[in-house]
Amino acid sequence: PVSVFSIRPADVSFAMWSMAKAAYVLDKGIFDHLAALMASKDMMEKTNTRLVAQALWSCAKIEEYDESFLDVHQYDESIKDDAMIKRMGCVDRYLSYLIAHREKLTATQISQTVLSVGRLRIADPFIHDQLADTALRSKHSMNAREIANVVWGFSKVLYPDSSIIVELINEVTTTSKQNECTSQEASNMLYSLGRLQIRDTVAFVSLNAIMM
């Protein structure tokens, strides 16, 4: 067996990502062990924003699959809740790291992080505000898909600052990014406007035009 001390943060994060991409939810004990290992003090001291954002995304994806799986299969809710509590403890540590190192986040990592916060319904206004500020300052380096993911993620936690949402959407609709924006991405941003009850005529018209 490989010693835990010889495992690198990259090994753990990519193993989590692989399991999440494969929708492997039948035996999440291995995933949860990896999540806890990644969140350990030793790993957090050696890691970087890319690996932590990827681990966070993986936790959010597994949680999403978990809900779908439970719709079809009967499982002991107490077991599910216990596992979720432990996993969310890891998520808290990942988010603390990412917020502390937010200046180093790339456009992709910002997108992954906000998307994960939305999927996990993280109800923490401080985290929301820190990520919103980071996303806004990085909007020029983000592509249409990344912005759509950020907007969707914020809609899932009912982020209250409509001006930031509209500014992010405008970054797509008023620049050359509109040419790379897909109908699905435009649809997701329209959904977000509706969910957040943002009545911005220009944004609605521009996104509908992309869909057409």
pLDDT one-digit tens code per residue, 26-44:
677 889 999 999 999 999 9
Give me the pLDDT at residue 72, please: 40
Is residue 74 scored above 50 in pLDDT? no
> Which of 149, 47, 157, 46 lies closest to 107, judged by CA?
149
Give me the pLDDT at residue 25, please: 63
Stated length of the chain: 212
pLDDT tens for residues 161-175? 999 999 999 999 999
Q: How far are the Cα atoms of 82, 103, 117, 139 from residue 106, in angstroms, in the given order?
A: 33, 9, 16, 11
pLDDT-based confidence at residue 83 (cuts at 50, 70, 90): low
What's this model's pTM, rounded to 2 decimal places? 0.88
pLDDT tens for residues 111-145? 999 999 999 999 999 999 999 999 999 999 999 99
Q: What is the mean pLDDT of residues 64-85?
A: 53
Give me the pLDDT at residue 9, please: 96
Token duo for residue 98: 């990412």
> Which of 61, 56, 58 lies closest to 17, judged by CA?
58
Q: What is the DSSP letter of 175?
A: S
Is residue 77 scored above 50 in pLDDT? no
Give me the pLDDT at residue 78, please: 47
